[in-house]
A and B are shown apart, each in its own frame.
Chain A
Amino acid sequence: MTPSGDKKLQDRAPYHLSGGLHVTGRSRFIGEDNRPAELLFAKVVLSPYAHAQILNINTTPAAEIPGVVAVLTHLDIPGENQIGLVPQDEPLLPVDQVQYVGQPVAVVVATTPRIAEQAVSKIEVEYEELDPVLTISEALDKDQLYIPERRIKRGDVEQGLQNSEYCMEGKFATGAQEHFYLETQCCIAVPGEDHQITLYSATQSISEVQIAAARILGIQCKDVTVDVPRLGGAFGGKERTATLWACLTALACHQTEKSVELRLTRTEDMLSTGKRHPFEAVYKVGFNQNGKIQAYSVELNSNGGAYTDLSIAILERAMLHAENSYYIPNISITGRACRTNLPPNTAMRGFGAPQSIFVIEQVIERIARKLNIDPLDVRLQNIYKTGELTPYGQPIEEASGGELLERLRQNSQYLELRKSTDEFNQCHQFVKRGIGVVPVKFGISFTSAFLNQGSALIWIYEDGTISLSHGGIEMGQEVNTKVAQVVSSELGVSLARIRQESANTKRVGNASPTAASSGSDINGNAARNAALQLKKRLAEIAQQMLAARYNLKVKEPRIIFAEDRIFDTAAPDRKLNFEEVVKQTYMERVPLGAHGFYKTPGLHFDREKGVGNPFHYFVFGCALTQVEVDLLTGQSDLLKVYIVHETGRSLNPEIDRGQITGGFIQGMGWVCMEEIIADEKGRYLATGPSTYKIPTIRDLPTIFEIEMVEVDREGSSVFRSKAIGEPPFMYAEAVYFAIKDAIEALTEHEKEVELHMPATPEAVVMAAKNHIHLDSTGTT
């Protein structure tokens, strides 16, 4: 593989398009721009029960408080009480039963937030408590599945197991994760004439909010405008979840005919919103003496929470990543999405893949332990080679996983690191070090093929400046910077000419959610398509102008757009200004606006059969981490992290680097710090940063080296770049395995320990305690 790259584009790779605004406090988030002067405030009554019959709602005492403008229940919904998409199973406000703790039951609208809060406490809801179903096993017992179980199969697992030299079976469970975007869920709704409404919603999906709000209000999509300037973080938590809060705000606005703001407190947000799906997996694996896996069967069961939300798509992505980076000849993957009485679990970075990848990586670690082979070698033994097929039949066209692992081995000086780690462990009794390695293969595209489309709208104004709209939502991943780069590079103009507009349903219809790491791919391609149409028109005019002005007659004109100038390669010193060509194009009555469109080619997936090509391409990479664990306190410190990540021809390497770092640290939170526990009544116990610990700046490793390998490949995306958002999240699983490795050093790696995930200090102590024997003097 030869590292290369679009140097021209990268040399000009700009900083964060809004960086200057963010550092001066002038960037505007929802509710900070054009705040309506007469704004009302909505506050929501949340269910205290995970499952209960609603017997009565008495709103009178609340409605009588001065300053309360309206108290709304399901009875006040003018349209259909439904915010679910496929299937439609989620009411905006429940009619007879609440299904999770934190579910909105009624909405108060008042003149100040404080009055709204008081009024909420005066609303009397009578419930009859019902038994909740909270865990995956209860749901499986009761057969509470969202869809009949799904399966992807290849070969003959039973036969494969029989033919293997070794067989093992086991279970592995992964925990939930709170998104913890710093900006909580919020929306401002502004009424307009003729029943129109504008929603400034913190959503990753303007179209979904538009459709749901129209349905709730009994109006039509043409009456609903959704506008998103930017989000203060999302990570999947504002993909489907935002629709609920946007529709509640829309309802409040519609009924009062006033502008309304709804903004959740951190506690409300953490209590009521869904998380990353917890999964429980059961597996069997057969392998040979050299560590080569012959057969693998895995059942992936997810806790979907109280409504379908995105559970089915998440289960699907989990199943499509169950083999991670490994070719397994005989494989059977079964998936079940369970309905429980927890807040509807939802999209979060990785979208099911981190969960299933964790299981196969756990299996690999166990094989290595069993055979006493280095886990890195077991991984190499099984890693995909070019041309091999995934379990669902998609060929791995250029499998670079093995090569990247070799690079990782070199970068981390693996052998020496192992040796020094072992030496350290030999002379430390209760402080141990460990190493973990994880390769990742991540498929890019929405697995629902129809979502893989993007639209963009470009207007070039008479003065040569440009308005750029696309369906992507800016939430920190800098999709706006990347898409603007694409346009500036096609039209050969500086970024300063381009105004990146908010995402707005009036300018971009049918926009797919900004998710699945695909934001820059589909919107960048769509914007490029629009830019190319304009370029063609401008080039024709430019050619006429060159001919007229310089008497330039060229048989086969090659018009170039660069540095705000337009010229023909035949006479590169005869240049026209971009503005003058624009002006002339306008005078000639040639349109200066273009709508661009893109759909990802070649995607198909047969869900029933579990075969197809669901992904446009794959992203590959791997990570190695070293940790130091105090086995008596359970505290672990991350010492070293090495990541090797294959990008395409990165549009903006520094943005990509930021995504790798951010994704890794967020993943680290999931695997060893962040724990969400629901009590026996289904109530989340962690409802704020004091009880839910996300990584802080002090958790950064001492050494954090990232190598980005640029590969120029036909099958990638816009300007041969590759998506970056999600794949790095899974690298952090190496931290968990490093912690496990450290604990196992207690027994010279002879015994396997059971380590709960997340590997919190408590989990570490529990895992280590059976292997630590303290006598009364405190020595082993």
Chain B
Amino acid sequence: MKKIIALNVNEIPYELAVEPNRSLADVLRYDLGLTGTKKGCGIGDCGVCTVLMGGKPVFSCLVLAVEAQDHDILTIEGVAKGPELHPIQKAFVEKGAIQCGFCTPGMVLNALALLNKNADPTEHDIRLALSGSLCRCTGYQKIVEAVKTAADMMKRSGIIEEEAE
């Protein structure tokens, strides 16, 4: 039996009928066409499906679409407001933190969640925040550099809004 749910994704409201056992990842990818959210394991172990739910990173393969009702969902498609890249995205490109790109959306969203609550992360903070996301290509070094650079860029441009935890 399908259930009608209201989802708020990237500040756009959707109403759609979903099976109660359908994961948020599948609904985002196949019902809403937001294929930036990837699937690598489907069981909460790789992090490529990460989206932000109420500002917190979640594995969208483990969240049922029906559970996502009433939460603000942010996917990679909603990170840049307008044509300008968000500083994190910019830093990922410029620091070469991308190879195949499959882990990139999840990495960027994890970094965003981190920088939103911690404007000045140490290397340790960065590693901790991103440790749920696997990358088989880059060896992570440039990802760490990108997040550091993004933090600097955001501080300089005053984008960081301190959020209560």
Contacts and interface: CB of A to CB of B under 8 A. Distances in A.
Is the A/B pair a real complex? yes
Interface of A: 15-16, 18-29, 32, 179-184, 230-233, 235, 265-266, 475-478, 654-655, 657-658, 661-666, 688-690, 694-698, 700, 704
A27 B99 contact: no
Interface string B73-99: 001110110000100111011101011
A21 B98 CA distance: 11
A690 B77 contact: no
Given A476-B101, A655-B96, A666 B136 contact: yes
Given A183-B38, A689-B46, 19 more contacts: A15-B94, A16-B93, A16-B99, A19-B98, A22-B92, A25-B105, A28-B35, A180-B134, A181-B102, A182-B136, A183-B100, A184-B40, A232-B38, A265-B42, A478-B99, A658-B96, A658-B139, A662-B99, A662-B137
Nearest to A665: B139
A662 B138 contact: yes
Nearest to B103: A182
Nearest to A18: B101
A476 B130 contact: no
B138 A19 contact: no
Contact of A22 (B41, B94, B98): B98
Which residue, of A25, A664, A696, has the highest number of chain B Cβ atoms within 10 A? A25
Contact of B93 (A20, A478, A698): A20
A25 B94 contact: no
Contacts of B139: 658, 661-666, 695, 700
B104 A23 contact: yes
A183 B102 contact: yes
A180 B136 contact: yes
B41 A689 contact: yes
Contacts of A696: 131, 134, 140
B35 A232 contact: no
Interface residues of B, number: 51
A25 B75 contact: yes
Interface stretch (B62-70, B141-149, B156-164): B141-149
A700 B139 CA distance: 8
B150 to A, nearest CB: 11
Which residue, of A22, A231, A232, has the highest number of chain B Cβ atoms within 10 A? A22
Given A23-B104, A27-B101, A657 B96 contact: yes
B144 A697 contact: yes
Contact of B85 (A20, A28, A233): A20
Contacts, number: 167
B43 interface: yes
A25 B40 contact: no
Contacts of B24: none
B101 A22 contact: yes
A582 B105 CA distance: 39
A662 B76 CA distance: 24
Contact of B79 (A19, A24, A478): A24
A24 B85 contact: yes
21 contacts: A16-B96, A19-B93, A23-B93, A23-B108, A26-B36, A28-B35, A182-B103, A182-B136, A230-B101, A265-B42, A661-B139, A662-B138, A665-B138, A665-B140, A665-B141, A694-B134, A697-B127, A697-B143, A697-B144, A698-B127, A700-B139
Nearest to B30: A35
B116 interface: no
A20 B97 CA distance: 12
Contacts of A697: 126-127, 130-131, 133, 135, 140, 143-144
Interface of B: 34-38, 40-43, 45-46, 48, 75-77, 79-80, 85, 88-90, 92-94, 96, 98-105, 108, 126-128, 130-131, 133-144
Nearest to A691: B45
B101 A24 contact: no
B17 to A, nearest CB: 15
* 7 smallest beta-carbon distances between A and B, as pairs: A25-B36, A476-B100, A22-B101, A232-B102, A476-B99, A665-B139, A25-B76
A658 B101 CA distance: 13
Contact of A29 (B41, B43, B92, B102): B102
Contacts of B128: 698
B34 A266 contact: no
A235 B141 contact: no
A704 B143 CA distance: 14
A162 B159 CA distance: 73
A18 B139 CA distance: 19
A19 B92 contact: yes
Contact of B131 (A27, A183, A664, A698): A698
Contacts of A664: 139
B136 A694 contact: yes
Contacts of A19: 92-93, 98, 101
Given A233-B137, A666-B139, A697-B127, A654 B42 contact: no
B40 to A, nearest CB: 4
Given A15-B96, A658-B138, A24 B77 contact: yes
Contacts of A477: 99
A25 B34 contact: yes
Contacts of B105: 22-23, 25
A182 B46 contact: yes
A661 B102 contact: no
Nearest to A690: B45
A233 B35 contact: no
B127 A700 contact: yes
B128 to A, nearest CB: 8
Given A28-B35, A29-B102, A266-B42, A700 B79 contact: no
A526 B79 CA distance: 39
A690 B134 CA distance: 12
A22 B146 CA distance: 14
Contact of A182 (B102, B127, B141): B102
Which residue, of B41, B79, B88, has the highest number of chain A Cβ atoms within 10 A? B41
Contacts of B42: 265-266
B36 A24 contact: yes
Contacts of A184: 40
Given A16-B96, A654-B96, A661-B142, A24 B80 contact: yes
Contacts of B40: 182-184, 266
B28 to A, nearest CB: 10
A32 B76 CA distance: 15
A690 B62 CA distance: 15
A170 B93 CA distance: 48
B72 to A, nearest CB: 17
A453 B127 CA distance: 42
A230 B100 CA distance: 8
Which residue, of B43, B85, B139, has the highest number of chain A Cβ atoms within 10 A? B139
A186 B134 CA distance: 20
